[in-house]
């Protein structure tokens, strides 16, 4: 959905209200874009429409990782409540917890840890970034 990528919140809502499909070229692109932009209410709505919370893009990022990467704590909470797996690593070996740590985002780190994030998850290049 081009409106999602263009950060046109009102247009996204209008299109969803009018029955727009959430399936773009990538069926999870709209969910990931809205998570990356911190549009929590739209993320929740997309989940009700059938978006898959743990789907990944071609580099292995999930909606949870993208929300974490962009500092959207409320969206992180919502995605976890909707069943997001907190320890999924992308192809670079990075988990949401690692990204929150790299950003210095203690609030998001705490949320992730409270929901089972593993603090010493192994990177693919055999480094332990959290020790």
Residue the block writes with tokens 């907190």: 86
Cα dihedral sign, 5-11-12-15: negative
Measured torsion, CA atoms of residues 101, 107, 111, 116, in degrees rounded to the nearest 10 = 30
Domain map of the chain by residue range?
Answer: 2-86
- Beta-carbon contacts of residue 67 (< 8 Å; ≥ 6 apart): 35, 36, 38, 43, 75, 76, 79
Of 131 and 35, more confident = 35
Write out the two tokens for 92: 């670079």
- CB distance 79 to 40 below 8 Å: no
pLDDT tens digits, 46-99:
888 888 899 999 999 999 999 999 999 999 999 999 999 999 999 998 999 999
Q: What pLDDT is attached to residue 11? A: 58
- CB distance 7 to 36 below 8 Å: no
Provide the whole-model pTM: 0.79
Domain 2-86 = CATH 2.40.30.10: no
């Amino acid at each position: 959905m081009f409106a999602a990528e263009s950060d046109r919140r009102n247009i996204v809502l209008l299109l969803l209200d009018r029955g727009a499909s959430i399936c773009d070229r990538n069926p999870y692109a709209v969910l990931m874009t809205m998570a990356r932009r911190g549009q929590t209410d739209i993320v929740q709505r997309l989940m009700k429409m059938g978006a898959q919370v743990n789907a990944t893009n071609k580099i292995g990022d999930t909606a949870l990782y993208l929300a974490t990467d962009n500092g959207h704590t409320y969206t992180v909470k919502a995605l976890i409540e909707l069943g997001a797996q907190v320890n999924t690593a992308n192809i670079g070996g990075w988990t949401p917890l690692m990204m929150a740590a790299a950003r210095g985002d203690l609030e998001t780190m705490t949320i992730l840890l409270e929901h089972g994030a593993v603090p010493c998850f192994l990177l693919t290049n055999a480094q332990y970034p959290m020790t």
